[in-house]
Amino acid sequence: MTRDASEMVNADFIDAIADISRELEDLYDAKPDFPSRVWSHFSSIFASKDAFSEIPSIHAINPIHTDRKLVKGRFMIQDTSPSPEMYLAHRSEGKCGGWGLADDIPNSGGEILEETRLDLRENVVVWAVQIPHESDWVGTEIDGPNSKFKFLVLCNSRLTLPIATHFTEPHVPETHPHKFPTRARHLGVQVKIYDTIRGESLKSTEIYTLVGIYTMEQMTGELDAPGPILVPTLHVLFFQPLTTTLVPRTFPYYTDLSKSEALREELIAWISKESLGGDKHVAEWVLLATIARVQSRSPPLLPPSLTISKFPSPSGEFKTPKLLAVLSQLFPMVDALPLSLDTINHSSFSPESKNEDLHSGRLQLPRGSICVVTEGGVTEGGIVERGVMNIRALQVAMTSQTLDYVFPFSRFSFETDIAFLVLAEGRKSTFFQTHSTVPLQHDTSSNLYGPAESINLPSLQKLALFRQLVGGAKIGNVTVEQAVAEHIQEDFVSERKATSATAETVTSEDLIHRMTVARLIAMSMHQTTISLDVWKRVKWLEAARKARLDVIGEPKTS
């Protein structure tokens, strides 16, 4: 790009940030493909990382001074059921319509004039929420250390003033708390998309960075409701899909196997020391379970759920396992689901449509999320019908990676991709059948519960390496070379013959389980193939896990 062209692009994005409405007006033509042109134009001028980083974050704006300002934000699509909205695409005096620019629609005796009808267009309306349980470090890694600062732009001279105005979040009002998976305060927005082909492609729980014009408007579909409520609204110019790791990662990142193995051992040691009472064996199983994802639906290669049994219930002031804080330092989306009779009986784990409004459920989570289920808060008592349905929904999500959305006269199953850990006080989970169970053998002098501040963090550089290791593993793919596959097959046949006369017969299910673990071990080492050393590691891990189950008298098939 020439210097003149570069300066022109810089001027374009500065002007767009300064007065986005004027930019739309200047770009406007009355052609039917104008929404597509808007998409192409603004995604082009903000294509560079530097330009994109200048767009103020919706999480840090001051809404008092932000009407019709250009903003960006990371969101999960929560509800795609709102009806489309009609808007006047061609306003009086040839002005641009849409994106919050509107005139009253002319009519005659309640009938829309024919010449007006020709200028009506339809947009797509959805509801989106901030990404549930996004870890604190994600914003800094994506937007940079100054992500919560907004730089004032002097448009006329095309200079950015060196003045940073800091706003603490959240400022944008919360209007529909039932549309978020938890009761936590959050940001939810009504999203209007004018490029209808792209808008209609959006699906529930998908995650995007949305770029658009922020306004406060009445909720579409509630125009006749008494006492209309103004809701945060985003008129989308363009959006970008986010990966399940949120922060882009690479696999394989490490070409030196010795370095990746050493880093992996450091990570396991840190997880065990800070959250599992020094139990490195369980820490390795936690690592494997949390990097797992849906690799295939047919044949099913789903993330294996894990129960950590013999995990003590909290006895002191703090009720949150330190494991949550540790995992939140490593992964971008970590959800705590502390079970109690009240939670089981009175909350909703599945999304449910009520009065044509989709209420979120505890399991309406983006793909790539990690859900840590704790059973320590469950006391004696009865479970009502809703509780039974909630337990069933969670079990189905663990087993088949699907979640029912409940409507008045029907239920629809949607695909999920969530890694599940269950912390159980007994020999196994009270409620759930998970793919594997591993008993905890921790140092009794260590405290498994405590605030996030009690975690001893590694250096920022080391933490970044840990995140790259697990993030890359989360997106990795591995293969099995022919020679290794033949060795595994021969090994399986030999073991099956050796155990055929005993109660510990090795089955095809055992082979499938071991191959799943082998893939996860290879990915955690950033290896692209399953080696013989990886296979040996699988057999050692399984033998050690089953030996622990023997000690507590739990069947080895768990």
386, 346 Cβ separation under 8 angstroms? yes
Confidence (pLDDT) at 159: 33
Q: Which parts of the chain sit beneath pLDDT 70?
A: 1-11, 61-66, 103-116, 144-173, 222-227, 501, 503, 556-558
Q: What are phi and psi of 263, to 5 degrees?
A: -65, -40
DSSP type of residue 96: B
| Contact criterion met (CB below 8 Å) for 465 and 263 | yes
The rounded distance, in Å, linking the Cα atoms of 24 and 237 is 10
Cα-Cα-Cα-Cα torsion 191, 197, 203, 206, nearest 10 degrees, comes to -70
* Integer Cα distance of 419 and 281 in angstroms: 19
What is the 8-class DSSP label of residue 220? T
Give the β-pairing of 357-359 and 352-354.
antiparallel
DSSP three-state, residue 309: strand
**Length of the chain counted residue by residue:** 558
368: β partners: none
Contact between 357 and 320 under an 8 Å Cβ cutoff? The reply is no
Tens digit of pLDDT for each residue in 99-135?
998 766 555 455 555 566 778 889 999 999 999 999 9
- The whole-angstrom separation of Cα 180 and Cα 290 is 23
Domains and CATH numbers, the chain: 3-241 (2.40.50.140), 257-470 (3.40.50)
